[in-house]
A = this chain, B = another copy of it.
Amino acid sequence: MDAPQKAQIGRPRGFDADDALEQAMLLFWKQGYEGASLTELEAAMGITRKSMYAAFGNKEELFLKALQRYTVGPAAYSFESLRQPTARQVATMFLAGSVRSSTWPGGPAGCMGVQGALSTGEAGRVVRDTLAVWRDGGRAALLDRFRQSVDEGDLPPTSDPEVLARYVMTVANGIAVQAAGGATREELQQVADAALKSWPPA
């Protein structure tokens, strides 16, 4: 996308765009889209407002780029979990990753995809809808994976991949809310374990 293919005429950028985006992500994660002001963002990113606009567009685009970074960073556990050999292991790793990411020491509690913009006024409609699509994409990925497990036999043919996928996603969303409210990693891992007690046997 933004590969350094251009000839780069002119003064080069004086800050690390990835670093700045990381800081923006952390602030959006902690305070939400509406709760993070441009003034706070430029302080966190360590650059001026002009540089921010030149590099990332406007606040909405900045959030969406921060979300991309969140997806391949703190939320990367979701993709890794899909590569597990059985549905049970997928679900186990997905929830464990959700717990770990939501309670990362020193990082914001919870999930950016949940609390970034769960409900907003009209000004945040695009971001809110984008996050809803983002979350549903995770559910759809689990669904595909669980369908594969039914085909391969590590989920019984009587099981319903639709329900299982939404169930796992619902527990993960709940874990994010709990973490945002101060629940600890140990407490939430116990919840994740409890949630998998009824997983269909192979």
Partner-B contacts on A (CB < 8 A): 29-32, 34-37, 40, 108, 110, 114-116, 118-121, 123-124, 132, 135-136, 160, 162-164, 166-167, 169-178, 180-183, 187-188, 190-191, 194-195, 197-198
**Contact A194 to B167, CB < 8 A, known contacts A31-B120, A32-B120, A40-B121:** yes
Taking the nearest CB of chain B, how far is it from the CB of A24, in angstroms?
Answer: 14
- B115 with A180: CB separation less than 8 A: no
A120: B residues at CB distance < 8 A: 31-32, 34-35
**Contact A180 to B132, CB < 8 A, known contacts A164-B194, A190-B166:** yes
**A–B Cβ pairs within 8 angstroms, 14 of them:** A29-B119, A32-B34, A34-B121, A35-B121, A110-B119, A114-B118, A115-B119, A132-B181, A166-B190, A166-B191, A167-B195, A169-B174, A173-B177, A198-B198
A108: B residues at CB distance < 8 A: 119
A29 to B119, CA, bound (A): 8
Taking the nearest CB of chain B, how far is it from the CB of A199, in angstroms?
Answer: 8
Report the nearest B residue to A165, measured CB to CB.
B191
**Contact A118 to B177, CB < 8 A, known contacts A124-B35, A171-B170, A182-B132:** yes
- A32 with B119: CB separation less than 8 A: yes
Taking the nearest CB of chain B, how far is it from the CB of A187, in angstroms?
Answer: 6
A134 to B188, CA, bound (A): 19
Report the nearest B residue to A111, measured CB to CB.
B177
A172: B residues at CB distance < 8 A: 174
- A30 with B166: CB separation less than 8 A: no
Report the nearest B residue to A27, measured CB to CB.
B121
- B180 with A166: CB separation less than 8 A: no
- B181 with A167: CB separation less than 8 A: no
Of B136, B166, B187, which contacts A166 at CB under 8 A?
A: B187
A183: B residues at CB distance < 8 A: 166
